[in-house]
Amino acid sequence: MRVNYIKELRRSVGKATNNSGQTWQRFFQLTKLLDAMHDLVGNLLDFCFYTFRESQALKVEFPEMLVEIISDQIPKVESGNTHTLYFHKK
């Protein structure tokens, strides 16, 4: 979903010379939506990391590539080395 919105943002910026008022309004709406999705994505990541940590007890198997990605990301997230990027101030 996020990839689709980023593509639409690129298209909107590319069309900035035509009817720029509507373009910037759409850009503003899309960036506000992306900002609003951070909480949802954060909760999904928490669930994913919890499931990953408890995978043995929960009898869940992750694909090898996903194991590598999650194993790399968990220490960064837990140590606070990741930061949420917002388009707008909260």
| Residue ranges covered by each domain of the chain | 2-78
| Residue type, position 18, single letter | N
Alpha helices in the chain (DSSP H): 2-14, 20-53, 55-58, 64-78
pLDDT of residue 16: 62
- Identify the three-state secondary structure at position 80: coil
pLDDT of residue 20: 66
Global confidence as pTM: 0.59
- CA pair distance 66, 11, nearest whole angstrom: 31
pLDDT below 50 — which residues of the chain?
Answer: none
What's phi and psi for 37, nearest 5 deg? -75, -15
pLDDT of residue 85: 78
pLDDT of residue 17: 63
